[in-house]
Amino acid sequence: MDLLQENFPQLFYLYSTYYTPYASYIHPLRRALLLTQSYFYRYAFPTLYPFYALTLRLLGSVFTEQPSLASLTLLAVLLLVSLKLMDVLRRAIISWIAFAIRMIIYASVVLVGVWVYQRGLEQSLEDLGWTIGLLAGLGEQGEKMGRARAARRAKEARSIPEGHYRGRTRGARW
């Protein structure tokens, strides 16, 4: 909200002044906005407004009167329908994610097969051994660096006098 409050005068200036240094950038956006607005009021609004008014009148009468069995039933039906829609949406999203993961796995298998076919089995196994050795060496180096860092922190913690704090830790004594 602060961002809007801070930038509103500049945005209003850019919107209200016709000739600005940014006119070449703003005019296509303004034109697209006005065309969308005119399309909405010309075509979509006359079609959708009766449904909007009917829904608003129905919901207004349902929620302003005392709760009755019909309004509670309507609320329960709307809840069930929304839950069913959310379940369908969840299933669709999960199926697309599973499809993407399956395609990634199949593509990687095909790429490994092409790589082995081009390089030959012996050279591919040699490259695989080199890669595994590299990763193992990186892991060992990371463990060694972690141990050294932990030892340095322990040494620093022992060297701090009682009652003093290390840096900006807000009371942590380590």
Q: Tell me what pLDDT residue 14 has.
A: 64
The pLDDT, as a whole number, for residue 16 is: 62
Measuring CA to CA, which residue among 101, 100, 124, 103 is closest to residue 112?
124
| pLDDT for 5 | 72
**Splitting the chain (174 residues) into consecutive groups of 10 residues, what average pLDDT does each group show?**
71 64 73 82 81 80 70 85 92 94 96 93 92 90 89 80 59 53
Tokens for 38, please give them: 């005119």
**Distance between CA 44 and CA 46 in Å, rounded?**
6
Res 89: pLDDT: 92
Q: How far apart are CA 144 and CA 133, in angstroms?
A: 16
What is the reported pLDDT for 163? 62
pLDDT value, residue 29: 78
| Nearest residue to 62 via CA among 80, 47, 54 | 54
Say what the pTM is.
Answer: 0.40
